[in-house]
Chains A and B, each alone.
Chain A
Amino acid sequence: MSKRLPQRASEWLKRDKPISFYFEGQKYQAYEGDTISSALWAAGETVLGRSFKYHRPRGVLSLANHDVNVMLADGTDTNMRGDVLPVQDGMQLTVVNTDGGVKNDKKRFIDAISSILPVGFYYKAFHTPRSLFPFWENIIRKSAGLGVVNFNYPRELKRKLHTHCDLLIIGAGPTGLTAALMAAPHGVNIIVVDENAQAGGSLSYDLGGSDESAKRLADLLAELAKYPNVTLRTGAYAAGYYTDHLIPIVETTGITKVRAKAVIVASGAFEQPPVFRNNDLPGVMLATAAQRLLARYATKPCESAVVFAANKQGYRAAMDLLDAGVTVKAIVDLRAEGEPCSLVDAIKSRGVAIYNGACVYEVLPAANKFGVKGAVICSYDEASAKPLLHDRFTLACDGIIMSAGWAPAAALLYQAGTGMRYEKSAEQFVPAKLPAGMFAAGKVNGIFDLAQRLQDGARAASEALTYLGKQVPSVTVDREYIASPSHPYPMVEHPKGKNFVDFDEDISIKDFVHAAQEGFDNIELMKRFTTVGMGPSQGKHSNMNAIRILARIRQLPVERIGTTTARPFFHPTPIGHLAGRGLHPHRLTTLHGWHEAHDAEFTDVGVWKRPAWYRRAGLEKQQAIYEEALAVRKAAGMIDVGTLGKLEVRGPDAAEFLERFYTGSFKTQKIGRTRYALLLDEAGVMVDDGIACRIAEDYFYITASTTNAAAVYREMQRWLQIWQLDVGLVNVTGAYGGINLAGPAARGILSRLTLRPLDDASLPFGAVCDTEIAGVPARLIRVGFVSDLAFEMHVPAGSAQHVWNALLENGAAEGLRPFGTDTQRLLRLEMGNHLIGQDTDGLTQPFEAGSEGAIQFEKPFFIGQRSLQIIARKPLNKRLVPFTLSEGYQGETINECNLVIGADGNIKGRVTSIAFSPTVGRFIGFAYVDPANVAEGAAFNIRTDSGSLVMARVAATPFVQLQSEA
């Protein structure tokens, strides 16, 4: 039977655009502008979904995005909320969480056995025997959850936008619109957002039997449209609050991140259901839901209604019902003194009986619980919160319209750190202490009278403008409550229960009593034990009642119970809105194009992309790396080291600065020589190492490791500020390219490209000079990291390719090959050089790593010195040693982090590096071992992944024969 009314002035329907859709296989007619729920309700359907736990039939509850029992799937999406989702032509909808369809759900039997499934039963029932738990787990996992995820979900790209404004107003109801209108003439940039499809808030549905609301809304919108500095966005919800007023606004097309200078929260309040037996049946709905159906969707909630009220809203809804031709059988008012407002007489004059101090004791279900057949009404004692059954009687009706109170939509206020207090005159939590730049107005501020809400909007606008530095007069609000908008305890006990508090999770009054008996009588514990507020609506319609019930159980005032935290997001937000491209910047050297063209396999090193090795036809990775390494040992190889940190330290105090910053001594360093530079932190932990080149008396050129370059430079800057030395720092990492040429043929190849003599006497190990290579100005350093005969060339980044090509060309005859970082790691290991970060960790100090030689203890000061003095007096726990496995070792692979096990069976250390060296013909590596067992040739055991022990022996370094000895 159709419940659709003739066209109404307030409706959102486009009567000229009829559409059709399918629900559970059956075809329905609707209009554009309908939501799925409104279209089905208008068509006479009452069972729109099933509850989560008991599979009870459910219909319309709020029509405000909390009807989480009406969740639908359309073949692509799931858990779509029927109460707010616009219906579209041709939709094919099914209800989630049913077994055999919404009307014949086979799981409805659970409702009948609900008494043996009390809240929390699964915490206890399935613990023992443990062997059966997998069986129960399987069942629980299948029944926990609503829609089924579609793994073939189409790839949809949702844009992300950023915008800024002076004033963001959340909520386009009368309060928010008034605030916008007050602020608009002051030249501030304003964004108003509202989650509803159209602006207006309560003005769009709370008519109260008059056309005043509609007129006021039209006036407000017409006025606001005159201001180009005001943007009104509907169908857009503020999803959360992040620091410094960053608020994501979610629309179907994507997210807009709004950075506001000030925010007015005029988000209104969620209507809270009174609690009585069968308050969940289809046909029982909140007053505002009935009003929304009537005003926005021209649909009657029912034909014959009983209004269960504890505030003015119920009376306003009754007027709207009467105006739409619905029979109102009675208004049952929980309050002994009844409603003081003038609507009472108007309603009485239309023949409606009003029962004060009475309650709906229970709702009588129609067949299959598909609807309402009648209501049992009796007196109610507010003091004891008990129904008085002596005078009970039954009224036949097909709908119960309920209105007992509100909870502020204060999620964003909580997230912003607002302190809330309980306002007794409104029986509601209201903001007590707002963070700077945040303002709250209207129902969320505990103000419900329309005229007062408009004042409050103006008041908030005035305060926000003042905050923004505008000169505006202050506004005061006449804040007096004639009757509280919320009832302090709208609960009706019933021995048979089914008086629901939380419709998401089917939690009724007895569940709270059980939870408290079990000791879960703190709101946070009770929430987790009962799962109240943990369903898809996140407690929007249930938390306030839960707090009231707990307060009564514990005999405490409501404000002593407190509230739980409402975290982002305000509504469930599709993952597709949140997902995005990973925008990780990375750096490339000027040789990157060459590496790509020559089949480099790249690896991430810090922010850089570096070649790990170069692919060769017919060679596996390991073979390719061995070939690159052998080229360095037998002929020559070269690697792009342009990623190394390169820092210039200049000024009269340059040497003094380095002496304090690094562990070594630099004042005595000769011009044209390099020194090892080891950096510790204040705890004496090894942080980084590099090379300090003295170019002039007051000019050092420092290298730092690729990954740590930025951090080393940063620390240099910080200490320089503290020490106030006469030094200038320049990070020239990107300005210079770097090439390391290594191997026995390196000198010969390089000598053909420079006039600089390269023999050991002219350019000994540790020398640095500025010269020309291949016609390019270059800084040439004799280094020994991967081979004892190696030259590092630093040239202007733009010339690196030229020098690289010249070297390749000149070295072709000798067999010069490029090598990557994987090969470099093997080569340095062969040379016996440990690597900070690989062979050390965040606690390693120099005594453990065997780096004492790099430390100049006699200096007056260096970072970490004082800590090392303390550490030096303590016994050493472990020491890093080079080791080899036996020749021809074929056993189980030993991995980094395999443990070193002592004779006593205890852990003594671990392997930090291990690799097979084709040059040595053995596995070689570094490991931490017992410091008493570090002599060359000493044996120790490494435990493999499988647990077996493999013997290794401490070795001498370098593992390979040096070129100078060859």
Chain B
Amino acid sequence: MKLLTCPVNGTRPLSEFVFGGEIRNMPDPAQASDSAWAAYVYNRTGAPGLKKEWWYHSPSGTWFVAERNTLTDQVARTYLYGQEDKA
């Protein structure tokens, strides 16, 4: 089983975590065209590479960001949302 490092609680087994999907920036709903909005809602890039993902440490209720290489499944770093520069 994979290990994941919660920025608050340290390294824990994957069974304690919930995946929250790739972090994608929401386009401005008032400005975005229908197709741009639909692309945001439905389209995901399947291309492997380094991605920013939401992960949730369930027992403590901690959301954080993991930068994970989806090709090698290696997590480069994890940090709390908005604290990228402190990681």
Contact with A along B15-37 (1 / 0, CB 8 A): 00010100000000100101001
Complex Cα spacing A865 to B56, Å: 25
Q: Would you give the shortest CB distance from B60 to chain A, in whole angstroms?
A: 11
Number of residues from A at the complex interface, CB < 8 A: 22
Complex Cα spacing A682 to B38, Å: 10
Asked if A670 is at the interface of the complex by the 8 Å CB criterion, the answer is: no
- Name the A residues within 8 Å of B72 (CB-CB): 417
A714 lies within 8 A of B56 (CB)? yes
Using known A-B contacts A714-B18, A731-B61, determine if residue A243 contacts B37 with beta carbons closer than 8 Å: no
Asked if A841 is at the interface of the complex by the 8 Å CB criterion, the answer is: no
Q: Would you give the shortest CB distance from A916 to chain B, in whole angstroms?
A: 40
Q: Would you give the shortest CB distance from A731 to chain B, in whole angstroms?
A: 7
Most buried by A among B63, B72, B81: B63
B42 (CB) vs chain A CBs: closest residue: A683
Using known A-B contacts A718-B20, A718-B63, A861-B29, determine if residue A242 contacts B1 with beta carbons closer than 8 Å: yes
Complex Cα spacing A870 to B32, Å: 12
Complex Cα spacing A243 to B34, Å: 41
Contact with B along A858-874 (1 / 0, CB 8 A): 00010001110010000
Contact with A along B40-70 (1 / 0, CB 8 A): 1110000000000010101001010000000
B61 (CB) vs chain A CBs: closest residue: A717
- Name the A residues within 8 Å of B56 (CB-CB): 714, 717-718
Complex Cα spacing A839 to B75, Å: 40
Using known A-B contacts A243-B2, A683-B41, determine if residue A870 contacts B34 with beta carbons closer than 8 Å: yes
A243 lies within 8 A of B41 (CB)? no
Asked if A222 is at the interface of the complex by the 8 Å CB criterion, the answer is: no
Q: Would you give the shortest CB distance from B15 to chain A, in whole angstroms?
A: 11
B1 lies within 8 A of A243 (CB)? yes
B37 lies within 8 A of A721 (CB)? no
Query: How big is chain B's contact interface, by range?
Result: 20 to 34
Q: Is the interface of B mostly helix, strand, loop or mixed?
A: mixed
Asked if A244 is at the interface of the complex by the 8 Å CB criterion, the answer is: yes
| Partner of B41 from A246, A682, A713 at Cβ < 8 Å | A682
Complex Cα spacing A717 to B18, Å: 13
A721 (CB) vs chain B CBs: closest residue: B81
| Partner of A246 from B1, B20, B38, B42 at Cβ < 8 Å | B1
B2 lies within 8 A of A722 (CB)? no
- Name the A residues within 8 Å of B42 (CB-CB): 683
Complex Cα spacing A721 to B81, Å: 7
| Partner of B63 from A417, A721, A731 at Cβ < 8 Å | A721
A866 lies within 8 A of B37 (CB)? yes
| Partner of B81 from A417, A436, A722, A861 at Cβ < 8 Å | A722
Q: Would you give the shortest CB distance from A673 to chain B, in whole angstroms?
A: 29
A866 (CB) vs chain B CBs: closest residue: B29
- Name the B residues within 8 Å of A244 (CB-CB): 1-3
B29 lies within 8 A of A243 (CB)? no
- Name the A residues within 8 Å of B63 (CB-CB): 714, 717-718, 721
A865 lies within 8 A of B61 (CB)? no
B1 lies within 8 A of A865 (CB)? no
Asked if B10 is at the interface of the complex by the 8 Å CB criterion, the answer is: no
Complex Cα spacing A941 to B51, Å: 50
- Name the B residues within 8 Å of A722 (CB-CB): 81
- Name the A residues within 8 Å of B3 (CB-CB): 243-244
- Name the B residues within 8 Å of A867 (CB-CB): 37-38, 41
Q: Which residues in chain B, 1-19, are within 8 Å of chain A measured between CB atoms?
A: 1-3, 18
Complex Cα spacing A227 to B71, Å: 40
Contact with B along A99-114 (1 / 0, CB 8 A): 0000000000000000
Complex Cα spacing A242 to B3, Å: 11
B37 (CB) vs chain A CBs: closest residue: A866
- Name the A residues within 8 Å of B29 (CB-CB): 861, 865-866
B61 lies within 8 A of A870 (CB)? no
- Name the A residues within 8 Å of B1 (CB-CB): 242-244, 246
- Name the B residues within 8 Å of A717 (CB-CB): 56, 61, 63
Complex Cα spacing A724 to B82, Å: 10
Q: Would you give the shortest CB distance from B21 to chain A, in whole angstroms?
A: 10
A711 (CB) vs chain B CBs: closest residue: B18
Using known A-B contacts A243-B1, A721-B63, A722-B81, determine if residue A866 contacts B18 with beta carbons closer than 8 Å: no
Residues of A within 8 A of B (CB): 242-244, 246, 417, 436, 682-683, 710, 713-714, 717-718, 721-722, 724, 731, 861, 865-867, 870
* 3 closest residue pairs by CB, A with B: A866-B29, A243-B2, A244-B3
Residues of B within 8 A of A (CB): 1-3, 18, 20, 29, 32, 34, 37-38, 40-42, 54, 56, 58, 61, 63, 72-74, 81-82
A-B residue pairs in contact (CB < 8 Å), sample of 9: A243-B1, A243-B3, A244-B3, A436-B74, A714-B20, A717-B56, A717-B63, A865-B29, A866-B29
